[in-house]
Each structure stands twice: as structure tokens, then as C-alpha cells.
Amino acid sequence: MAELDKPQREVDVPGDWMYASAPESRDIVHIRDRYGYYVGGEWLEPADTYETIAPRDEEPLASVGQATTEDVGRAVAAARAAYADGWSSLPGSERAKYLFRIARILQERSREFAVLESLNGGKPIKESRDVDLPLAAAHFFYYAGWADKLEYAFPNRRPRPVGVAGQIIPWNFPLLMLAWKVAPALACGNTVVLKPAETTPLTALLFCDVLRQAELPAGVVNIVTGDGRTGAALVESEDVDKIAFTGSTEVGKEIQRRLAGTGKRLTLELGGKAANIVFDDAALDQAVEGIVNGIYFNQGHVCCAGSRLFVQESIYEPLVAKLERRLATLRVGDPLDKNSDVGAINSAAQLLKIRELVASGVEEGAEIYQPPCVLPEKGYWFVPTVFTNVAQSYRIAQEEIFGPVLSVLTFRTPDEAVEKANNTPYGLSAGVWTEKGSRILWMAQRLRAGVVWANTYNRFDPSSPFGGYKESGFGREGGRHGLEPYLRFDE
């Protein structure tokens, strides 16, 4: 066989692999200039508004209504009317159909919601796309399955809906927290008045169009926007039967004080200062990835973030070296860039708080490491940060920073690890890294935390309950446990 002449072509091989941006288009999202309140299936015009912005560049996105006590009263009245007008007595199998529709619509419009979530909240698009939206849809699917099985979930207890639920959600996971609260409430036959966070209302307002598409009966879900005054009006409304709040411990305590003696039901999911504990037999490279995911995911805007890293003394130096090397590879930048690992801080106020606490860590004597990082000129940004040489008494080891800041401490024995991990007023979550299953179980029994992850971190599933102890709140969301706060029982 004759030898074929092959064409000779010179191919330029790059000597330096330069970064190329991969921005997600904003064109899929239509943002209105002005939003009112979604009450009784209709949009009500607000008397007063404020601007919501994009944290990445401080660009104004829309004018949003600042709901008054009267506006909240109208929303509660619409929810009460819908509750009495058939939603509470609708068969569970029929309620499930609406929840299934909502879940499917969220899946169909997931790209639209993901772009809006990242634009208004500052989190990287790959997190909104790959975490927030799939989990939000999954929660509606999951609770749709429970809607006609409540008697099996709570045998011999005759479950009944509570009534009108007032729900207040935070700015770190706007759509996912909406799903966590709205889905079980509707599955149990309640109606809802929901107030999204002041800085991130846009995905909740877009969710109103999902309710329209799903043909949910008017008044079953009502959404009012505004600052803390709107939330206070919802808490104090006499015709609300249950309050569900996710947010800061300080606000949660105030809500509990205001509801004391009223007979209203209350669940609180509050702050955290979680311990991520690495033993000397752990797979270090795997642990480093879990540590990074535990604290730098969503810029550290996570109530269960693993913000306190406890490392067994014998592996302290190699683990810190690996961690610092890994931090240098994180890309901080435009949340709509698919290559960004860390996005923008949610607000100017939150950025100020992070800076103040980081400054206190330096002042108290901790050693700070921040990888080389060029931050955008506009917007709210903070470099991923690691503190070593941290004492238990330092503010950065005690107070919730709610930002991309990690404090590293050491321990020698499992008993010492448990004692140090539990030395906090919070009790939301913890992580354990070891190859020994018996040690995992031993630690999990002793850690005073609502969720304990083993050889992973920040893993969520709709069927798994989530919640805390101590100043991290009470009540559970997710799983069968998440149904109970929205039910009363005729014994």
C-alpha cells in the first residue's frame, strides 16, 4: 500500500493558558421597572418604593414596593379568604397537582431564574444553576408527594392545616428558602404570606408568574416586599397562625419575644458558627475540597458554613499548605461568568460587617492569608480569607461573619475536638473528616449540631431535615419533620 503524503500544518500551541470569560446572557430575564405586591392573585400598586440593585456593580435593577401595615393586612386577609374558600379542605391529591406543576415550571424556567438569582444576589451563576434551582424544584416535587399521605406520615393523629402562615426568608438563598417554606405549607393545606429579603426580592416576584402559570387559586400564596418594618407587621398580624423565619439570631430573638404568649406557632432557623473537624487519617485533598466548599460556597453567605476549621495537630502544616494553594486557584469575579468561583458580597452593609470582623482578627493577633486577587472596581467584593493562629476567644472564632472568612484552630484528641466544637452559642451544623466509621458515629453523637456531615459538606436533600439547636433556632425544615410545623393534630 502506497504511503500517503500527509499535509504538514503548523499548529500554534499556546505557551500560556490565558483566562477567557464565559458570561451568561441577561437577555433571558425581563426585569420590570417597578414591582408592587402580589395579593389575591393580582398586583397591587405600592405607595412607596425602594431600589434593588446588582451587588456586582451596584446597578439599579428595579423599584420594589415598601409594604405598609395596611398592605400586609390586605395580604393576610387574602390568604385567610383563600384558606376558608376551599384550599384547606381540598383533597391532598388535588393540592399535590399544583405543587407538581410549580416544580415542573421551575425546571422549565430554571435558566431564567438562575440568571436573576445571580444578578440580584451576587452568587456565581454555576451555583444558582447547579444547586439553588434544582433543589428548589426538588422540594416542590418532594412535598407534592406528601400532600395526600399526611395520615400515613402521622398515623393516629388526624393532621389538619394550621391556617395562614407568615414566612420571612433571607437574602442568601432567596428562591431555595422560598421553596423550603412554601412547599410544605401548601402540601399541608395552609395559605401563605411571604416576605422576601429587602435586598433580594426579584426571584420571589418572578415566582408569582410561576403561580399564575400553575393556576394556583388566588390568595393561596401572597408576596409582599419591604424591609424589617414589613416583616414586623407580618409577625404582629393577629390573623396569622404561624410564623416561619430564617435569618439572623438577633432578629429571631426579637420575633420570639413579640410572639410570646400569643399562641402563634413559630419556627426559627438562625445563625451558625459550624465546626469542620479534620482528623489525621482523613484524605487531605478530599478534605481541602470540602473545606473550600464549606466556607467559600456562596461567598460564605451560608448559615451552616464551616467557618471554624479544627485540624488535628499532626497534619496541621500540610493541610494549611494545601488549603492556601487551593485558595490561589479560586476565581473571584462577575457572578454571571460561568468560570467564577466566588461572586459578590450581597450588600454594602454586609461587606462592612465582614471587613470589621476581619480587622478585629488581625488586631487580636491571628495570622491572615489572602491569595493574590484582583477585585472588580465596582460592586461589593471581598477576597477569600484564612486566619491561622486563632484562639477560641477571638471574635472571628465566636461571632458569625457570614462571609468568605475561615478560622483555623487545632486539637489533639477527639474529646478535645468535641469540646472545642461545642464551645459556641450556635448549633446548626458540623463536619467530620476521617476514614473511621466508628469515629464518625462517636463524634456525631456528641456534637451539639442539627446536621453533621461526614467526609462531605453542604450536601442537602429535600428528604433530609435541617435545623439547629441553641441560638441556631428550633424546628426543622425538609423531610417528614418539615411537615409538622404546618399541622395541628386532632387526637
N-to-C CA span, the chain: 90
AA identity, residue 331: R
Q: Mind giving me the DSSP string for 372-428?
A: -----SSS-----EEEES--TTSHHHHS---SSEEEEEEESSHHHHHHHHT-SSEES
Radius of gyration for the alpha carbons in the chain, expressed in angstroms and rounded: 24
Q: Which helix (H) or strand (E) holds 59?
A: strand 59-65
Does residue 70 carry a catalytic annotation?
Answer: no
| Residue in 117, 127, 198, 303 annotated catalytic | 303
| Residue in 117, 127, 198, 269 annotated catalytic | 269
**63 strand-pairing partners:** 34, 51
* 18 grid coordinates: 490565558
Contact 409, 424 (CB under 8 A): no
* 380 grid coordinates: 461589593
Distance CA 31, CA 53 (A): 12
Q: Which of 309, 325, 327, 337 is nearest to 123 (CA)?
A: 337
Does residue 400 carry a catalytic annotation?
Answer: no
Q: At 119, is the secondary structure helix, strand, or coil?
A: helix
Active site residues: 269, 303
